[in-house]
Amino acid sequence: MDSHDNVSSKQVGVRLPGHLYRWLKEKVDSGEYPNMAQSVIGELTKARMLEELRLRETSYYDVHEDEPLIRLVNERIEGLRRDLLDEVMRRKRA
């Protein structure tokens, strides 16, 4: 095991594409985060949490995934869930 694996935090230098930088900068300017570093950490944490939730929810639905009707229903549920999350995010920005 690399000795760096047990360090609780690490500094990473990356260059953000302009659209991501502007999006994060808006979050700082609106007061959602105190600075850019916190906005990056906060949004990555949210993304990780959403990914973990999506994986967990998917495993609940996968019990009978081989049945076409169940697969269709699961796809519709997932589509609606994404649409609702998008709408919530749009309303937060407005």
pLDDT tens string 39-75 = 999 999 999 998 988 887 766 555 555 678 777 888 8
Q: 36-61 and 18-29 are packed helices; what angle lies between their axes, rounded to 10 degrees?
A: 110
**Structure tokens of 56?**
């967990």
Q: What is the CA radius of gyration of the chain?
A: 18
Q: To the nearest 10°, the Cα dihedral for 27, 30, 31, 37?
A: 30
pLDDT at residue 91 is higher than 90: no
pTM metric for this prediction = 0.54
